[in-house]
Structure 1
Amino acid sequence: MTFLKSFVGAVVVALFSSLPVCAETPVVRAALQLSGTVSWEADTIRHYGLDKANGFRMEVTDIAGAPAAQIALIGGEVDMIVSDWLWVARERAAGRDVVFIPYSRAVGGLMVPADSAARSLADLKGQKIGVAGSPIDKSWLILRAYARKVENFDLAETTDQVFGAPPLVYKAALDGEVQGALNFWNFGARMQAAGMRTLLPIDKAAEALGLDPQTPLVGYVVRGNVLKAHPGLGEAIAAASRQAKQRLAADPAAWERIRPIMRAETDAEFEALKAAFLAGAPGEGAVDEEAAARMLKLMTELGGADLVGDLKDLPGGVFHHPEN
């Protein structure tokens, strides 16, 4: 009897030792600006459990802005932020292992009042243009390049630019203090709802310059060592992001649930924000790195070291690929 118990015990131990050990669910510490549009997706992911359904858990902390988020990521205080891939390229060129996972390709456009006589950029010569950001804002650089190539004039030299924060540019546009406004896509949607119209979409300007408007500019940026420690995590994050957008596209109740954090003042603004957000969803395929390299070349020519530092060519490993 003692022999039988010992034998059975040995079999049980051998059986359980041969079973795979369940890995602990990886926790992704994300620092996100919750006053921004990324909160709509992050809230949707967590509310519907799309992170856990894809094998990870997202922890979100609010952060004041992009510089603070970037410092936290590089310092290892968090695992993921949202930024543009040009910043990722600069960091990788400097030897830092960060990886870009597409989140959005929404870029907005140059807007004018509905009753404006302007039909082209040239019609704004001698007038004021409000620009969200600085003189090296990427959308502004694309507009300048378009004006030079297509309309044969320098937009910066022939107009008076007012650079500022998105809410200030938004207010200046609605108050008539500027005759054209280039703002972040969500403020562009709000301006559209308020009666303004798009004079030139940035994706159309980019296409005229030989760029691919499908190239996503903004994405989740994850520390490379985190992705290496958890194979498949990059694709899991991409899947959760994609599924959140699919849920929002298919379920009006999902939008109603997050409407309070969208701060839409009217139904028209709410609908414009929804449409613009979904229109900016990136494709499921890998980022076209040749197209990205063309955009980098243009940004280098126009923005110089202030925008891209010493970067000349696209470093390897900027974009996440499922096989990685």
Structure 2
Amino acid sequence: MHRQQTAVSKIRRFLAGRTHRRRILGGLLCAGLALALSPATRASASDLPVLRAAVLKIGTVNWELDTINRNGFDTENGFELSVVPYADNGATRVALEGGEADLAVADWIWVARQRAAGKDYVFVPYSRAVGGLVVPGDSTATTLKDLRGQKIGIAGGPVDKSWLILQAYAQKEYGFDLAAETEQVFGAPPLIFKAGLGGDTAGAINFWHFLAKMKAAGMRELISVETAATALGLDPDIPLLGYVLKESYLRENPQMASALYGASRAAKDLLARDDAAWEVLRPRMNAKSDAAFEALRRDFRAGIPAPGNVDEDGAATFFSLMVSLGGEKLVGGARELPPGLFAELE
């Protein structure tokens, strides 16, 4: 009987101790939850401004934005980046204009046109990657004038900047009217890609990442837009592509242009030096071969601009050429570089 009472007492003490331990653990959990939800902790986790980026779902800018998010370069620079994918570039620009996004991607010629029309868009430089003209690997062409009477596939339409620059170059260098003496086939980048590889055109002008894959597949570059621009007295180091924000947004978030630029530069610096940083990007690069992957990485790196503000004098010279070549179809009512186009970066 005594042993039974002793056993019962031990069980009661054990259960009481377990209940006490549960109360302690519960108190610690509640305290931890309270700390997690305290104003000080919330400030460090969620009080950073959120920058909503509207981007083309398959756009190459996602390689940089993914690198920013993956490595925390946004929070290191005082904001949180939220990437929202869209099916086409037009939709990204509608999202920016309508306030559904704070940022889109475009070339500064387009931004200048919008700004001249009264929109308060501001440009933050992103990339100087530009296209060129490629020909089949067995083509005998050595200059643009060798394409006389043949078909050229062109992505981007009749006022594509690369096409306009190459026309001006052909006229200056050879007295050759590239538009009048060739047949142009305009189409979407994938169509021009297939036509070029299939031999349906004697040459092709495409966006830089399609050209990288075309070269990896055996085509060769006849001339780059960079070479043509230099011959025309233009500065090839001026970044053509960039992030577009509104002045009204920057008034409310005055640090954001420099913060975004800082995160962008950190991502570029990593991608420029570290091959391993590209491995996580490979699934979204649509590279069908190692050669295509390496060509995309190489040409992306080649398109990284030097750090610093855009050279406005050089940009004004470039814009004047676009006005003379593309006219209203390209630049709208703008005739000179609108003031305030380029963000001042710290």
> Distance in 1 between the 2:155 and 2:119 partners?
29
- CA distance in 1 between counterparts of 2:156 and 2:255 reads 36
CA distance in 1, matches of 2:284, 2:97: 29
Tell me how far apart the structure 2 counterparts of residues 83 and 292 of structure 1 sit (CA, whole Å): 15
Alpha-carbon distance, 1:133 to partner: 1.4
Counterpart of 2:64 in structure 1 is 41
Question: Which amino acid counterpart does residue 117 of structure 1 have in structure 2?
Answer: T
Query: What is the deviation of 1:302?
Result: 1.1
Equivalent of residue 169 in structure 1, options 192, 197, 206: 192
Equivalent residue for 1:305, pick from 306, 328, 331: 328
The 5 A counterparts of 1:175-194 are 175-194=198-217
- Gaps in structure 1 of 5+ consecutive residues: 1-20
Greater displacement, 65-74 / 187-196: 65-74
The one-letter code matched in structure 2 to 1:45 is I
Normalised by the length of structure 2, the TM-score is 0.85
Task: Give the whole-Å Cα distance in 2 for the aligned partners of 1:217 and 1:249.
Answer: 19
* Paired residue secondary structure (1:157): coil
Q: Structure 1 length normalisation: TM-score?
A: 0.91
- Residue 144 (structure 1) aligns with: 167
Q: Which of the pair has more CA radius of gyration?
A: 2
- Are positions 1:85 and 2:108 aligned together? yes
**CA displacement 1:271-316 (0-9 Å, x = unmatched):** 0000000110111121111111111111111111111011001111
Residue 113 of structure 1: how far off its partner (Å):
1.2
The whole-number CA distance in structure 2 between the counterparts of 1:214 and 1:289 is 12
**1:68 maps to which of 87, 91, 99:** 91
Residue 120 (structure 1) aligned with residue 120 (structure 2): no
Instruction: Answer with 251-260 or 270-279: which moved more.
Output: 251-260
User: What secondary structure, in the 3-state scheme, does the structure 2 residue paired with 1:158 have?
Assistant: coil
Partner secondary structure for residue 327 of structure 2: helix
Counterpart amino acid of residue 180 in structure 2: E
Alignment correspondent of 2:49: 26
Task: Work out the CA distance in 1 between the residues paired with 2:329 and 2:87.
Answer: 22
Name the amino acid aligned to 1:272: A
**In structure 2, how many angstroms separate the alpha carbons of the residues matched to 1:252 and 1:297?**
39
Q: Does 1:258 align with 2:318?
A: no
Q: SS at 1:131's partner residue?
A: strand
Which runs of 5 or more structure 2 residues have no equivalent in the other structure?
1-42
One-letter amino acid of the structure 1 residue matched with residue 65 of structure 2: A
User: 1:28-60: CA deviations, max 9, x gaps?
Assistant: 111001211111111111111111111011111
- Per-residue CA deviations over 1:36-85 (Å, capped at 9, x if unaligned) read 11111111111111111110111111112222211221121210000011
Count of residue pairs the alignment pairs up? 303
* Alignment of 1:199 onto 2:208: no
Distance 2:129 2:92 in 1: 21
Find the aligned partners of 1:295 and 1:173 in 2 and give their Cα distance: 29
The correspondence for 2:126, drawn from 77, 90, 103, is: 103
Question: How far apart, in 2, do the equivalents of 1:244 and 1:290 lie?
Answer: 28
The 2-side partners of 1:175 and 1:276 are apart by 23
Do 2:117 and 2:333's aligned partners in 1 also have CA atoms closer than 8 Å? no
Matching of residue 247 in structure 1 with residue 270 in structure 2: yes
Helix, strand or coil: the match of 2:84?
strand
